[in-house]
Amino acid sequence: MASRAGVNPTSIYRRWGDLDTLLEEVAVAALTKDGDELPDTGSLRGDLSAWARIVVDDITQPRRTRYLRAMTSARDEVLTCPCWEQRRTQAKVMLDRARARGERAPTEQQVLDHVIAPMYHHVVFGLSVDREYADQLVHDVLAMA
């Protein structure tokens, strides 16, 4: 890996410590895109549905799937994940907008646990996940509000 990058192997170990840490950072970088525009459809259902479809389309791309699987297998325990925190921030923005419009809304944690986590779980374990599944998850979490 170091030779492909044109650096000495000690540089890699000095920066990341081990291969698992390097793989985790690569996966996080691949799964975290700054500057993405969040859907603003005028309703929470529309926003969450459009967002869930964007996420599912993204994480089901073969390259993204490989990164996601690499990240989850890189460590026995992942204490923090920048891509998860980015999803939390995105959910908060949409939920805050919905509440400002007077809509009932689930919590950020409910959106993460009942929309995002199941999609990631399905991708990691090779289970079926598509836009229809994403829409069903959004329907389910909105019933919690």
Does residue 1 lie in a domain region? no
pTM for the predicted model, two decimal places: 0.79
Does residue 123 lie in a domain region? yes
Both tokens assigned to 63: 């390259």
Both tokens assigned to 77: 């325990």
Does residue 94 lie in a domain region? yes
Q: What is the pLDDT of residue 36?
A: 66
Does residue 89 lie in a domain region? yes
Does residue 22 lie in a domain region? yes
Look up the CATH number of the domain holding residue 84: 1.10.357.10
Does residue 33 lie in a domain region? yes
**101 and 66 Cβ atoms separated by less than 8 Å:** no
List per-residue pLDDT tens for the chain, 145 residues long. 556 666 676 766 677 677 666 666 666 666 656 556 899 999 999 999 999 999 999 899 998 888 778 777 766 665 666 678 889 999 999 999 999 999 999 999 999 999 999 999 999 999 999 999 999 999 999 999 8
**Total domains present in the chain:** 1
User: Strand locations in the chain, DSSP E?
Assistant: none
The sign of the CA dihedral 136, 138, 144, 145 is negative
Domain that holds residue 120: 7-142
d(CA 30, CA 43): 30
Does residue 36 lie in a domain region? yes
